[in-house]
Amino acid sequence: MGALVITRDSGPQPADFADVRATNLAVVLRHLRTEAPCSRADIAATTGLNKATVSSLVTDLIDRRLVREIGMTENRIGRPATMLVLDGSPYAAVGLEINTDYLTAVALDLAGERLLSWRRAFTGQAVASLAALARRAVGKLEREGRQVLGLTVAVPGLVEPGFAKSLAAALGEPAYPLLVENDANLAVLAEQRLGASPQTADLAYVTGGTSIGAGIISDGRLLRGTRGFAGEFGHLPLDPAGPVCSCGRRGCLEAYAGLGAVIRRALPDATLSPSEFGPHLDEIHRLAKAGDERVLAALTDVGRHLGHAISLLANLVNPACVALGGHFAVLSPWLIPPATAELEARSVAADCGGTRIVASALDTSAAAAGGATRVLDAIDAGTLPPPLAR
């Protein structure tokens, strides 16, 4: 019954009629993705949609250059018919990501191929820096003849409602849709579409950095919760007698496994200025590879606490895969074994209920790639861009 979302205004109900056209657009796009070239009549015959509906849907798709005609060919029953294929070449989807000391930009085409992947030092004001980077990326793509389908900005933590408005103003109210989303939610979308297990319908992505969050996909869909706060992972309480956390509580995951805490544990003499976190992480990685005992002991302890927190997620949500990003990905050879042991010890279901902990297959631009992925997902679900100017 994968075709339906059961929404419940007064008992379970199928999709709204208003969604039927979007559903049908998505069905036509998918048919063309797998079966093209094919004719309008072929599409009608396979989907059960009537020919007038298919013609109207295809006109919409052609107007938006998502589909194009490639001339006449004989169709199944031998009559000449205009054949259709997917297009989409004139489009690009853009994602930006804010980190403590750098910004990332990624652009994808409709097939998910990278058109650009930039990293820039970030020192100034967030909105102005993002707007400058967005203008450069969009300018480059437009000079290449592409229309930007949308731009999504990944931000850590809870999204401030005014942020998107300020950014839109700084960009001069762009014509393309502008979204701001939690970085963990976007990273898990990218992990699913572009990562190592693209077929996984149940997975989570844990962001590593000074703060820690989780993005969760359950049964193929992003889990958001009633107000969009799902995936609050960094402040899961692990031990009421644990160290004081930046949030004022005790024993949160972040107090054991946030990047600052990891540096404090592994390099007790290091200064803790965020601009030096990158070099410190490189140093920890070097010492771990060299077998430094203090660093290895610190990472084993971090891995245990990470596994404890993952066990809470695994028992409640039962993902097939938990992908580690950020510093957890960099240090994964030393974190995953103790984390997995802790998960095994704390799982109620046998074999951890099928949950595995892996390093993310994406580089540190996962959330930016997820921003672009978010734009593509909307197209694939039948939300078309406006018709192109001719």
Q: For residues 258-317, which are near its own copies according to CB under 8 A? A: 308, 311-313, 315-317
Residue 380 in contact with its own copies, rule: CB under 8 A? yes
For its own copies, the closer of residues 3 and 290 by Cβ is: 3
Residue 41 in contact with its own copies, rule: CB under 8 A? no
Residue 161 in contact with its own copies, rule: CB under 8 A? no
For residues 23 and 31, give the distance between their C-alpha atoms in angstroms, rounded to a whole number.
12
Residue 192 in contact with its own copies, rule: CB under 8 A? yes
Q: Which residue stretch of 10-18, 100-108, 292-300, 327-335 sits at the interface with its own copies (rule: CB under 8 A)?
A: 10-18
Residue of 21, 22, 54 lying closest to 38 (CA atoms): 54
Q: What's the min distance (Å) between Cβ of 329 and its own copies?
A: 21
Residue 237 in contact with its own copies, rule: CB under 8 A? yes
Residue 187 in contact with its own copies, rule: CB under 8 A? no
Residue 70 in contact with its own copies, rule: CB under 8 A? no
Supply 246's token pair. 């930046």
Q: Is 270 left (phi over 0), alpha (psi -120 to 50) or beta?
A: beta
Residue 100 in contact with its own copies, rule: CB under 8 A? no
Q: Which residue stretch of 1-9, 115-123, 141-149, 287-295 sits at the interface with its own copies (rule: CB under 8 A)?
A: 1-9
DSSP-derived 3-state class of residue 163: helix
For its own copies, the closer of residues 311 and 364 by Cβ is: 311
Would you say 376 and 110 are in contact if contact means Cβ atoms under 8 Å apart? yes
Would you say 299 and 288 are in contact if contact means Cβ atoms under 8 Å apart? yes
Would you say 365 and 97 are in contact if contact means Cβ atoms under 8 Å apart? yes
For residues 362 and 229, give the distance between their C-alpha atoms in angstroms, rounded to a whole number.
24
First to last CA, the chain: 41
Among 37, 90, 112, 337, binds its own copies (CB under 8 A): 112
Residue 17 in contact with its own copies, rule: CB under 8 A? yes
Q: What's the min distance (Å) between Cβ of 383 and its own copies?
A: 6
The backbone torsions φ and ψ at residue 222, rounded to the nearest 5 degrees and listed phi first, read -60, 130
Among 113, 173, 219, 269, binds its own copies (CB under 8 A): 219
Would you say 249 and 256 are in contact if contact means Cβ atoms under 8 Å apart? no
Q: Which residue stretch of 29-37, 58-66, 264-272, 327-335 sits at the interface with its own copies (rule: CB under 8 A)?
A: 29-37
For residues 233 and 249, give the distance between their C-alpha atoms in angstroms, rounded to a whole number.
14
Would you say 274 and 246 are in contact if contact means Cβ atoms under 8 Å apart? no
**Binding to its own copies, residues 139-158 (CB under 8 A):** 158
For its own copies, the closer of residues 230 and 257 by Cβ is: 230
